[in-house]
Amino acid sequence: MEIYLDKRAVKQIRVSASDAVEEGDTDTLREDILEAFNDDQIEEIERRVDNGDFYDFLSEILDEWGGDDVDELFELLETHLAEAGIDVKYTSPDDEEGAPEEEEEEAEVDEPDEAEVDDVSLGDEEETEEEDL
């Protein structure tokens, strides 16, 4: 199963995590992460996690989190959800811009364009050879 978090939700979690780093309080962060997921997603997560409670699931992640690196929090969230069979994506399926993963894929698609340019230049060389004959 895949869960998509929109840019607004990711930004809110990042801001809240930064506040938690500064203040040392994770209660607001826990609530903000909880709000990033819709009811259907929460129900599905609760079906898949061992303790069956999303709030407790988040508490375990926050307890494991060092509290000083926002990216580490996202990695922990991704890892724990992956263990439950859930893949987290940071864009909506309809959003063509977004996650760096998708941009990297687009960059890979751009690479064959260079090959096409090489093919065109090969064609030019063939024409030059024909003119020499």
**In the chain, domain spans:** 2-95, 99-133
Task: For residues 116 and 70, give the distance between their C-alpha atoms in angstroms, rounded to a whole number.
Answer: 42
Helix (H, G, I), strand (E, B) or coil at 2: strand
Q: What is the pLDDT of residues 106-124, one digit of tens each?
A: 334 344 444 444 444 444 5
Is residue 103's pLDDT more than 80?
no
Is residue 10's pLDDT more than 80?
yes
At a CB cut-off of 8 Å and minimum separation 6, what does 89 contact? 2, 3, 4, 5, 99, 101
The beta strands (E) that lie in the chain are given as 2-4, 87-89
- Average confidence (pLDDT) over 69-92: 90
- Mean pLDDT value across the chain: 77
